[in-house]
Structure 1
Amino acid sequence: MMQESLPVISDSTAFDLESAIVIKNLNHYFGEGGLRKQVLFDINLEISVGEIVIMTGPSGSGKTTLLTLMGGLRSAQEGSLQILGQEICGARKQQLTQLRRQIGYIFQAHNLMTFLTARENVRMSLELHDQFLNEDINTKAIAMLETVGLGDRVNYYPEKLSGGQKQRVAIARALVSHPKIVLADEPTAALDKKSGRDVVELMQKLAKEQGCTILLVTHDNRILDIADRIIYMEDGQLKSDGADAVTNMH
């Protein structure tokens, strides 16, 4: 059966979904044949539009795998995974590509292009969106860098920036196109306490201003208070959701 391609959600589209992410009975496997290994087991999760959720749990528990499925970076295999009202389990590459334009990604290794300045790294994110091509994207990129406190670093290359500054550029790049969802994988891991705190408070502020949903994977106990809700994963399963997730961390 032919699947319809995803409608492109532009900024002008009425966006009245209550849930940004709805996952039902999601299973995921790595490998084929005799080497096939199940890594996610019967995941059920709903995240509301505008909610900030922290996902925590031991290394190897499946957090990053779940994050990459939600972000359309790999294809979901079994169950239901709805992102922004679209079913993406079994989605084609074209659908996943369109979905990825609605999502901002922030990774532990900020993944900046070393041969581009801070401004050019942020600007690159805008160039993926047709709706920005008629606008002055240079000005937009600089304004976003000013918002994250890097107005005096717009023409610096990554090698001239500190770890915290690089992570701020990555946040500016993720948020400049006003994504509906931001997925962050250990965004504070390489940062000292103050930089880490500044970075997540910045994400929180920009998310609230933009009405954006944030899912943040972290082991960092120092930033748990920015979340509306905490979920805990272990052995490929969601073990707890809410206040009891915090006690599992300590």
Structure 2
Amino acid sequence: MAMADFIVSIRNLNHYFGKQILKSQILFDINFNIKCGEIVAMAGPSGSGKTTLLSLIGGLRSVQKGSLKLFNQELYGANNEELVQVRRHIGYILQSHNLLNFLTAWQNVQISLELDNNIPQWEARRKAEAMLDAVKLGNRVNYYPSELSGGQKQRVAIARALVSHPKLILADEPTAALDSKSGRDIVNLMQLLAREQNCAILMVTHDNRILDISDRIVHIEDGRLVK
């Protein structure tokens, strides 16, 4: 398969925390690809480097050593403006959902569209409400986070991540704060909507009950991918 066929292509990626005598290596020679439309689960113990790798792929940290191509654009040596452009094609779903408590559900979702100056306010609201309807929260568009359950908040987070039709979804422990049924509903919903939009998903999880939705499972231990 040609390199251009991969939405994520990583070669010999290494990462370090700290400097000089306190410098510690976190990731070791990571080689990893994700295809368009693929759902990949990343599993491993706490402290193994999963979230660090996710943040590098998401353009939230600078690549220190090695090659990391996202949408065929090299991120090693990329400046802040280039990283911002890349992040516009990524949807993020985090464990804590990170909703703004002073905004309603539709306003939280609409935030993702405000980076695109070509979308008028009325259309952004229409798209936000349509995406909330897709995650079965059409009757909760005017609710504030404090009025929603944990599962409903995570549905809002999914709607926010998908409303701009990203090429890649990065999910960090998306079911960690949910009971088993709510967690299962959330990942099924992620899978359905991602398939409809043909975007890839990289999901970091400790939850073995949801691994079966993935096309592939990769394991990371002590900063190394293991077979």
**RMSD of aligned Cα (Å):** 1.2
Distance in 2, matches of 1:41 and 1:130, equals 40
2:35 alignment partner, one of 24, 30, 48 = 48
Query: 1:171 aligned to 2:158?
Result: yes
Tell me whether 1:112 sits opposite 2:99 in the alignment: yes
Counterpart for residue 37 of structure 1: 24
Are the equivalent residues in 2 in contact too, given 1:232–1:239 (CA < 8 A)?
yes
**Match for residue 140 of structure 2?**
153
**Partner of 1:248 in structure 2?**
none
Give me the whole-angstrom Cα distance separating, in 2, the residues matched to 1:93 and 1:178: 22
- Distance in 2, matches of 1:201 and 1:76, equals 32
1:218 is matched with 205
Is the 8 Å Cα contact of residues 106 and 187 (structure 1) preserved in structure 2? yes
- Give the Cα separation in 2 of the matches to 1:28 and 1:202: 33
- 1:223 and 1:123 map into 2 onto residues whose CA distance is 28
Please give the TM-score of this superposition, normalised by the length of structure 2: 0.97
Does residue 88 of the first structure (1) align with residue 71 of the second (2)? no
1:239 maps to which residue? 226
Q: State the partner residue of 1:5.
A: none
Query: What does 1:110-149 correspond to in 2, within 5 Å?
Result: 110-133=97-120, 136-149=123-136
**Structure with higher RCO (Cα < 8 A, 6+ apart):** 2
**1:152-195 deviation line (CA, Å, top 9, x unaligned):** 11001101111000000000000000000000000000011111
Bigger Cα displacement from structure 2, 78-87 vs 135-144: 135-144
Amino acid at match of 1:46: N
2:180 aligned with 1:193, yes or no? yes
2:98 alignment partner, SS class: coil
Equivalent position of 2:11 in the other structure: 24
Separation (CA, whole Å) in 2 of partners of 1:131 and 1:87: 27
Residue of structure 1 in register with 2:189 after alignment:
202
Q: Deviations over 1:21-48 (max 9, x none)?
A: 0000000000111111000000000111
Q: Which secondary structure does the structure 2 equivalent of 1:80 belong to?
A: strand
What is the rounded CA distance, in whole Å, between the counterparts of 2:121 and 2:146 in structure 1?
Answer: 31
CA–CA distance in structure 2, aligned partners of residues 69 and 131 of structure 1: 28
* 8 Å Cα contact 1:25/1:43 also seen in 2: yes
Q: Give the drift of 1:133.
A: 3.4
**What displacement does 1:18 show?**
1.5
CA deviations over 1:189-235 (Å, ceiling 9, x no partner): 00111111111111101111101000000000111110000000000
Secondary structure at the counterpart of residue 61 of structure 1 = coil
**Letter paired with 2:109:** V
Q: How far apart in 1 are the matches of 2:193 and 2:50?
A: 24
Matched, 1:74 2:61: yes
TM-score, normalised by the number of residues in structure 1: 0.88
| Counterpart AA for 1:57 | G
- Separation (CA, whole Å) in 2 of partners of 1:225 and 1:53: 10
Give ranges in structure 2 of 5+ residues lacking alignment. Answer: none
CA distance in 1, matches of 2:95, 2:195: 22
**2:14 and 2:118 mapped to 1: Cα distance?**
36
